Every structure is written in C-alpha cells, then in structure tokens.
C-alpha cells in the first residue's frame, strides 16, 4: 500500500505545480499580447523580442521537467489500491492540459516572429547600401543585426563577382573571368556598424 505521506507528497506537489502553471500561463498570454501591441505601435525591437522569447521558453522547459517528475510520482502512486484522485489532482490535470494548449499557441506565435525585422530596418539598410556604394562596394549577402545597436552585411567590390549563384549574364561572366583553377573566388568582406539613435555611426 502507498504510505499516507507519499500520497500527501503527490497532492502537495500537484498543488504547488498548479500554482506555478497558473503563473506561467498568465505570463505567456501577457507576453503574446504585449509583443502584438508593440508590433502594432511599431515599438517592437529585436533585442526585446529575443530576450522575452528566451525567458518564456526557459520557463516552459522548467515546467515540462516538473510535469515529468510529477508524472513519475503519480505513476507509482496509481499502482496501489488506495490511490484516489483528489480535487487538487483533478484541478492540476485540467491546468496541465491548458498549459500544453497555451504552449502550442506560444510556439506558433514565436514561429510568426521568426523572421521579424523592425520598421526602421529598411531605412538603416538603405543607409548602409549608400555608404558601401560610396566605397565602391555592393551588398553581397543578407543583412544581420538587431537594428538597435548594430547592423552588418557582407559586401564585395563592384568590379568583382559574387560567390553566390549569378543572377544575370554579367555576373556569370565576371565569375568565370575570376575563377582560379576552375574554382569560384569569394571577394566578399564583412562590414559592421554601430547604431545610435537610429543612425549609422
């Protein structure tokens, strides 16, 4: 028979976890609402988005680990004849189900913002392109950065070919012209700038 103290432990663990799940569910819902509001008001930044997603993901992982631990305890408890589902246990199970549903919503939410770039990113990219063009360089890759503190991109001299697949006859000609022993050459260089007050410095 399961000892009374063991049943009490499972009940207490379920109650404690129920309270934790309630708090985490609330934080997940509030986070999604806040991010949407910031996005709509064009105040959402990549540093904040990344930080809050990582924080909530960490909380989700911690909850899942605790749920597994309680599942193990409960499995042992249910092997005995004197196991009885309590109100606390039933409430915990309902909340656990809700938690998993909210987590799925949060994962879909994160996926929607996977490639998010803030509204000011296009203006900053154009400024970088202008700077590079004055230096005689052409953008030769995807822009990177948080668009708040820094921005960077690979660029190549305008008279040199791209290492990427050529998009026109001119690029194909330059690429073949600069081959060495039949191999394409990579002329791209990494350029990076700081950003202050939405300006390149």
What pLDDT digit, counting tens, does each position of 96-144 carry?
999 999 999 999 999 999 999 999 999 999 999 999 999 999 999 999 9
Distance between CA 52 and CA 30 in Å, rounded?
11
**CATH classification at residue 45:** 1.10.132
**What are 6's strand-pairing partners?**
none
Residue where a domain stops, chosen among 52, 78, 112: 112
**pLDDT score of 72 more than 70:** no
Per-residue model confidence (pLDDT) at position 35: 98
Does residue 24 sit in the same domain as residue 99? Answer: yes
Q: How many structural domains is the chain composed of?
A: 2
Distance between CA 141 and CA 155 in Å, rounded?
7
**pLDDT score of 94 more than 80:** yes
Does residue 97 sit in the same domain as residue 143? Answer: no
Distance between CA 155 and CA 140 in Å, rounded?
5
pTM: 0.76
Contact 3, 67 (CB under 8 A): no
Does residue 10 sit in the same domain as residue 107? Answer: yes
Question: Over the chain, what is the mean pLDDT?
Answer: 86
Does residue 130 sit in the same domain as residue 93? Answer: no
**What are 189's strand-pairing partners?**
155
Extract the runs of DSSP E, i.e. beta strands, from the chain.
Answer: 137-139, 144-145, 150-157, 189-196, 199-200
Does residue 95 sit in the same domain as residue 128? Answer: no
Name the residue range of residue 89's domain.
4-112
């Amino acid at each position: 028979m399961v000892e009374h103290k063991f049943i009490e432990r499972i009940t207490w663990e379920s109650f404690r976890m129920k309270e934790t799940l309630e708090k985490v569910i609330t934080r997940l819902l509030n986070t999604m609402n806040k991010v949407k509001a910031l996005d709509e008001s064009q105040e959402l930044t990549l540093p904040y988005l990344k930080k809050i997603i990582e924080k909530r993901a960490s909380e989700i992982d911690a909850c899942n680990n605790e749920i597994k631990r309680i599942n193990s305890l409960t499995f042992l408890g249910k092997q005995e004849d004197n196991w009885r589902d309590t109100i606390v246990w039933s409430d915990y199970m309902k909340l656990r189900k809700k938690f998993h549903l909210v987590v799925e919503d949060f994962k879909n939410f994160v996926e929607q913002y996977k490639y998010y770039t803030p509204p000011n990113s296009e203006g900053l990219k154009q400024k970088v392109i202008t700077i590079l063009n004055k230096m005689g360089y052409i953008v030769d890759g995807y822009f990177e950065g948080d668009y708040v503190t820094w921005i960077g991109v690979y660029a190549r001299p305008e008279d040199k070919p791209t290492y990427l697949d050529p998009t026109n006859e001119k690029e194909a000609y330059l690429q073949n012209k600069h081959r060495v022993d039949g191999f394409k050459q990579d002329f791209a260089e990494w350029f990076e700038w700081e950003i202050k007050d939405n300006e390149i410095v």
